[in-house]
Copies of this chain bind each other. A is one copy, B any other.
Amino acid sequence: MKKITIKDIARELNISTSTVSRALRDSYEIGAETKKRVLELAQQLDYTPDPVALSLLNSHSNDIGVIVPDIANPFFATVIAGIEDVAFAQGYHVVIYQSHDSYEREVLNVKHIFNRRKDGLLVSVAANTHDYSHFKDLHDAGFPLVFFDRICEEIDTHKVSVDDFEGAYNAAEHLIQQGCRSIAHISGPQNLLISRRRLHGYRAALMDYKIPINEDLILASDFDAEHSLLLTRRLLQGNIKIDGICASANSIAIGCHAAIVEAGLSMPQDIALIGFSDLPLAGLFNPPLSTVSQPAFEMGRSAAKLLINLIKKPEDNKMLISNVLKTSLIVRKSSLRNG
């Protein structure tokens, strides 16, 4: 595992490094004989060009960066699998960054990505990010950038998301159809577009079914089961009787689930619950958790395709694409009153 360079090959063959370089790149101006000798020796020595040297030279790395809030979230882990699926096939390596929902970490990550000459960036923004100038700067510098899931509207680039409005609408409608009339919505951080869109979907469904909206039943939680547990606990102890909860994320749904069980209420008879963004293990819960499922793998694939196209043919991307994927309702026992 010693580092072999073109110098080693040149010395061995008594030719110059430029000849070696050209032979390796199969240049037309190199004699067939020389070419053959170089290629054979390179093969034999297991030569691979030094990516760092190439990077310094060309300002690219064949790496694409991905920033997600947290890889432990199964949704993001699956999106990343989708990204890797297409990136790997195209010869790119995916470098994963976690923001842990911190603005400061996100800014550091962006700098790292820029400085290390990553070829492009896929990002789902941190919950604590209110200022998008780090992304704006990148984008203005011509750096290929694609948002997914937690997208940033203010920056004109490709985006991949799901129809959050429709997903949340369907979830609320489903609870209504199960007979719920006092439905709470535990939302995510309101600065995130996905949270606001999901909330709008909930409101729209209630309005369409002529159910009065009670603002006291609309809460904003962090994407954190502990916080959601606290909020739900307080909600259940309050004096408004509720019979259904729409949770705006899986982490939030987990907190709700725990709070309902803890309160000794039965699901779905006393309170029906539905989450957003499927969990691979939700089916094993007690009771199994209904959710609005998102095509996470496909989202990753789509975002990666858009980014790679942006990297390879920037000129083909005058028209910005906003790919909105469909969600699907997965009804399990936590919300199914008559199954």
Contact across chains for B52 and A1 when beta carbons are under 8 A apart: no
Query: Among A48, A74, A143, which residue has the most Cβ atoms of chain B within 10 A?
Result: A74
A15 at the interface (CB under 8 A from B): no
A6 → B minimal CB distance (Å) = 14
Contacts of A261 in B (CB 8 A): 284
Contact across chains for A287 and B286 when beta carbons are under 8 A apart: yes
A75 → B minimal CB distance (Å) = 10
In the complex the two chains form, what is the Cα distance from A48 to B2 in whole Å? Answer: 31
Contacts of A141 in B (CB 8 A): 1-2
Contacts of A78 in B (CB 8 A): 72
A163 → B minimal CB distance (Å) = 24
Contacts of A258 in B (CB 8 A): 284
Query: Among A52, A77, A140, which residue has the most Cβ atoms of chain B within 10 A?
Result: A52
Contacts of A51 in B (CB 8 A): 115-116
Provide the A76-107 mask, 1 if CB < 8 A to any CB of B, else 0. Answer: 01101100100000000101101000000000
Partner of A53, one of B56, B280, B288: B56
Contacts of A281 in B (CB 8 A): 254, 279, 281, 285
Contact across chains for A254 and B96 when beta carbons are under 8 A apart: no
Partner of A285, one of B53, B280, B284: B284
- Tell me the chain A residues, 1-28 only, with Cβ under 8 Å from chain B: 1-2
In the complex the two chains form, what is the Cα distance from A111 to B51 in whole Å? Answer: 11
- Tell me the chain A residues, 153-176 only, with Cβ under 8 Å from chain B: none
Contact across chains for B137 and A112 when beta carbons are under 8 A apart: no
Provide the A273-317 mask, 1 if CB < 8 A to any CB of B, else 0. Answer: 000000111001111100000000000000000000000000000
Query: Among A1, A50, A96, which residue has the most Cβ atoms of chain B within 10 A?
Result: A1
A35 at the interface (CB under 8 A from B): no
Contact across chains for B84 and A77 when beta carbons are under 8 A apart: no
In the complex the two chains form, what is the Cα distance from A287 to B93 in whole Å? Answer: 41
Closest to A111 in B: B48
- Tell me the chain A residues, 23-62 only, with Cβ under 8 Å from chain B: 48, 50-53, 55-56, 61
Partner of A56, one of B52, B74, B77, B257: B52
Contacts beyond the supplied A96-B96, A281-B281, A285-B286: 17 A-B pairs with Cβ under 8 Å: A1-B114, A1-B140, A2-B141, A48-B111, A48-B115, A52-B61, A52-B115, A52-B116, A52-B117, A77-B77, A93-B112, A95-B95, A254-B281, A254-B284, A257-B284, A279-B281, A284-B286
- A-B pairs, top 6 by smallest CB distance, nearest first, are A286-B286, A72-B77, A1-B137, A1-B141, A96-B96, A71-B71
| Interfacial residues, chain A to chain B (CB-CB below 8 A) | 1-2, 48, 50-53, 55-56, 61, 71-72, 74, 77-78, 80-81, 84, 93, 95-96, 98, 111-112, 114-117, 137-138, 140-141, 143, 254, 257-258, 261, 279-281, 284-288
23 A-B pairs in the complex with CB atoms less than 8 angstroms apart = A1-B137, A1-B140, A1-B143, A48-B111, A48-B115, A51-B116, A52-B55, A52-B56, A52-B61, A52-B115, A52-B117, A71-B77, A72-B77, A72-B78, A72-B81, A93-B112, A95-B95, A95-B96, A254-B281, A257-B284, A279-B281, A284-B285, A286-B288
